[in-house]
Every structure is written in C-alpha cells, then in structure tokens.
A = this chain, B = another copy of it.
C-alpha cells in the first residue's frame, strides 16, 4: 500500500541535510504528499526537522504543519519565525488553524493571531468563541450555500467563484436570512437540466447539528446516517458551516483513545503519548490509583476480620489471589463489553435487565468451569488441603464470578444514566470492588463449611 510517489528514505534525507545539499532535498520532496512529509518530520531529529520544514513551499508547509505530531509542532513554534507561522496559519482552513492554535499557550496563540491577515484572524477568533469539542470548533465555514431560485447554470457559476469550499459533496440551500432550507446532492446538480431551478431538485429534509453540539454526538450522527458531512446551524437555523467526515474520523479516534485509557484506569491524556510530560501522566493516573488503593484497604479490613480463621487454616491464604484474580478478570471482561455496548447505544438503563441476565448466565457458565478446574488443581497439588477446602473454593468461584459480572454490568449502566461517562468505570475499579466482596464470600463460606 504505497502512495504512487515514493517517500524518500529517512537515511537519505538525513544525509542530504548533514551534507547541506538542500536543493537536492527540495527535489526529493517535490511531489511527496504533505501527510508523508509530516511523518518524516516526526521521525527526524528536531534540528533536522526544522531545517527541512523551512525548505517547504508555503502551501505544502501549512498542510504539513496541520498533519504533524505535537512534539514537532512545539519545536516548530519555538524555532520558526512568528511571521512565517502566521503566514502558514493564513493558508490553512480556519478550523485547522484553530485546532493548531488551541493547543498553544495563550500568549503564543494571541501573538500569532495578531500577526495573521485581519480577515483570517477575525474568523479564527470567531471560532475560538465556541467551546472546545463542539461543532463550532470542528466546522469548516467555507461551505456552498445556494438560493432556491437559482438555476443550475447559475449554481455552477457560483461554485466556480468559490475559493476554497472544502466539500462540494453536499450543496446546502438557504433562504434570504441564511436559514438552512434544503440540500442538493452534487449528483443531482450534474444530471439536472441547465435551466432547472434549485428548488426543483433540492431535498427539503436536512439533518443538521446545532453549533453547540458535542463532537461525540456529531460523530454519532455522521456515522448513523453515513454522511460525508453535516451542516451546522445556530439557534435560528442559520447555516454556519459544515463538519466533514474526515474531521469526524479524527474525533472518533480521539474518543476511542479516551475510552481505552479510562478503561485502563487513568484520566485520558488528550494528547499524543510522547507529547505529555511525565508529571502530567503522573497527575492523570495518581487520582484513580489512590482511590483504588483506599478501596483496596477494604480487602485488608475483610482479611483482618477473619485473621483467627486464617491462623487455623493458613492454606486458605494460598487460594486468595486465585479467587480474587478470577473474579476481577471476569469483571474486566464484562465491563469492557458493556462499556463499549453503552457507547454504541446498544445497552442502556431501559434494557439493563436483559444485559444483566445475559452476563449472569455467562458468569455462571464461566464460574462453574473455573470451579471444576480449581477443584482438580487443589486435589492434585495440595493433597494436604483435605476434602473441605476444595469444596469451599469450588463453591466460591461461581459465586464470585456471578457477583463480579453483576457489578460490571450494573455500575457502568447506572453511571451512564446519571450522565457520568461509563468509561470511568474502569476494569481496575471493578477488580477492586470485587476483591473485597469476593474475599468476604470466600471467608464466610470457609467458616461455614469448615465449621470454624
């Protein structure tokens, strides 16, 4: 899967920079896609990356700037002259310029905006007024807006006059007040008679998103309706811009990253891995780790409550990690499945009973399987455990697994109901809850069956 213009090899580039053959380097890069140059930049030493970046023509450089990873961006912001950066930002579509600026410290972004062309700067500032992660920030303002009385011929003339509409896939129709009243798929325009009016070929039902819509809802809309773009409107239904499928792709990747990091039990990093400082990573993780640590002290409390039991039957200790481990693992399996099903809107409070009965059934099957394996294991390797201990472990395992799948189903569903992101209910959290309660089940059963 190679682009037809081959990307020069990293070693080749490094050699050209080292030997200062900058013209040869320009030739090498002449037809390479900006996205591929961005990847090269990410891989080069920072000084070399800056050298290479300075050689690029302005239109390529602006696209590269848009595509490159945060550590290189940071370097470029420091090393490249502000005037050139401002020129590059002028070249970018407004939403991409805003995306670049919003990651910078306020004083740097203010300085750069001050150096941009007044018109571009005004547009950037307008987008920056919308909240992060909303349609307002994500949308492209360059959008084709037709009037219902135009003919097809007039529409083509208008399209020709547009300087940089990012998507012509959908052409939106607005009234005199710029209110969205319809959409013309491009295909319709092409097959229509030149003198037909827009009115006769437009579709009156348009799915649109308010400018305040959360980016996750937008992604849901685009993915549900298989759109290439979705128009963004204000509260008066006036057309403000369009969010395109490729922007939504990036959002989906970002959201999946957040969910995965939360599931692992930490706050999402919000930035590429190497762009975050060690201290920031520490801060994102220490909170949950501490909460889980404190919750885990409960297991200590439970264990100490049964200290007399353990003094008489030390062998019970040997199986503690096995029991809480299996409970935790079964819980992790369930919680990952349920959280994803909630994200995809397959499970919600309304059908949680159905989900729960599935998980309990699966949990029972799993618990019984582990129980059989556990009994054989103890019989084989711990003959000194006698007859009662295998029974205790064999009964505890299904109980713990069923309990664990129950917790793992109900807690994230309830969280979702109360508008808490279910992904904060991480695997580690379920494991920790199950540790203490699982031990309690184990010790109570042991006390009962061993008659102690």
Give chain A's interface residues, CB within 8 Å of chain B.
1, 3-5, 31, 33, 35, 39, 67, 69, 156, 159-160, 165, 167-169, 186-187, 190-191, 204-210, 213, 217, 221-228, 244-246, 248-250, 252-253, 256-257, 259-261, 263-266, 269, 272-274, 278-279, 281-282, 285-286, 288-290, 292-294, 296-297, 299-301, 303-304, 307, 310-311, 314-315, 317-322, 324-326, 328-330, 332-341, 344, 346-347, 351, 354-355, 358, 361-362, 365-366, 369-370, 373-374, 377, 381-382, 426-428, 431-432, 435-436, 439
Residues A269 and B427 in contact in the complex (CB < 8 Å), given A366-B286, A382-B304: no
- Within the complex, the shortest CB–CB distance from A291 to chain B, in Å, comes to 10
Known: A168-B186, A245-B245. A317 touches B303 (CB 8 A): yes
13 new A-B contacts at CB < 8 Å, known A256-B260, A274-B351: A1-B209, A3-B207, A35-B224, A159-B190, A223-B246, A227-B246, A256-B340, A260-B336, A264-B332, A264-B335, A293-B370, A301-B381, A310-B317
24 pairs of residues in contact across A and B, judged by CB atoms under 8 Å: A69-B346, A222-B246, A222-B249, A223-B253, A228-B245, A265-B329, A265-B427, A266-B336, A274-B358, A278-B362, A281-B358, A289-B330, A289-B366, A293-B325, A293-B329, A300-B322, A304-B318, A304-B382, A307-B317, A310-B314, A325-B432, A329-B431, A333-B428, A427-B427
Q: Which residues of B contact A311 (CB under 8 A)?
A: 314
The DSSP consensus for interface residues of chain A is helix
